Chains A and B, each alone.
Chain A
Amino acid sequence: AQSVTQLGSHVSVSEGALVLLRCNYSSSVPPYLFWYVQYPNQGLQLLLKYTSAATLVKGINGFEAEFKKSETSFHLTKPSAHMSDAAEYFCAVSDPRAGGGNKLTFGTGTQLKVEL
C-alpha cells in the first residue's frame, strides 16, 4: 500500500524567502504523486503532479517539485514566498497500476505561514 509522510506540520518563512515543504513516499512501484493546496474554508486545489514524464515538475503560482526515486522524496519548493502562499499543503500518492489510482492517499498536511 502507498503512504506519504510530510515532515513538519507547521512551516514559517519570511516573505521573499525560499519555501521548502517535505514529502516522502512509500510505494512498491513508481507512484503518481501530487501536491494540493487548501486555502481557509475551501476545498483542495491541484498545485502539480508527477506521472513519470519528467522528474522536475512545475506547477501553478511558481511552485515546483522534484521526484527523487533514490530518496523516495517529492519535496515542494518555491524560490520566493509571497503572503498569498499562506495555506495548508498536502502531498498525495496513488498506485499507477490498474485500479490503484482509485485510492489517493494524502499526507497529514503542512501549514505554511508567511511573515513580513
Chain B
Amino acid sequence: NAGVTQTPKFQVLKTGQSMTLQCAQDMNHEYMSWYRQDPGMGLRLIHYSVGAGITDQGEVPNGYNVSRSTTEDFPLRLLSAAPSQTSVYFCASRTGQGGNSPLHFGNGTRLTVT
C-alpha cells in the first residue's frame, strides 16, 4: 500500500528559483493538505483541498500556490523561493467525512533555500 507519496525527498534551491513539490495518494481521499514543519514551531498548515477543483488557504499560505485537478494529486508550487521557506514539507490526506478522520502523512520533502 503506497498511501501518500511525496517527491522529491530532498531539494536545494537558490533564492528566486521555482519548483513544485509533488504529492500523490492512492486512498481516494477527498481531503488533502500541505504542512511545513520548523523546529520549535510544530506543523503549520499552508493550503488544503476538500476535493478536485477546490482549494483554500491555511495558516501560512504566502509564497505558495496549489491546485487540485485530480483526486489523487495535490502539488505545492513555490514561485520564487526564499530562505524563509527552508523547511520540511509534509503532505497529508484523509477521507472527506469530517474533521474526526485521521490524517495520513507522507514522509516529507526537506527543502533548503540558499
Contact = CB atoms under 8 A, between A and B. Distances in A.
Does chain A bind chain B? Answer: yes
Interface of A: 9, 32, 34, 36, 41-46, 49, 51, 90, 94-96, 100-109
Given A44-B92, A45-B105, 7 more contacts: A43-B108, A44-B43, A44-B105, A95-B99, A96-B98, A102-B56, A106-B42
Contacts of B58: 103
Nearest to A46: B102
A103 B105 contact: no
A106 B41 CA distance: 9
Contact of A103 (B4, B48, B106): B48
A102 B102 contact: no
Given A43-B105, A45-B105, A101-B99, A108 B90 contact: no
Contacts of B90: 43-44
Interface of B: 4, 31, 33, 35, 40-45, 48, 50, 56, 58-59, 90, 92, 98-100, 102-103, 105-108
B82 to A, nearest CB: 23
A7 B100 CA distance: 24
Given A43-B90, A43-B105, A44-B105, A32 B100 contact: yes
Contacts of A95: 99
A90 B37 CA distance: 12
A32 B102 contact: no
B107 A107 contact: no
30 contacts: A9-B40, A32-B99, A34-B102, A36-B103, A41-B107, A43-B4, A43-B90, A43-B105, A43-B108, A44-B43, A44-B90, A44-B92, A45-B105, A46-B102, A46-B103, A51-B100, A90-B43, A96-B99, A101-B98, A102-B50, A103-B45, A103-B48, A103-B58, A104-B45, A104-B99, A104-B103, A106-B42, A106-B43, A108-B40, A108-B41
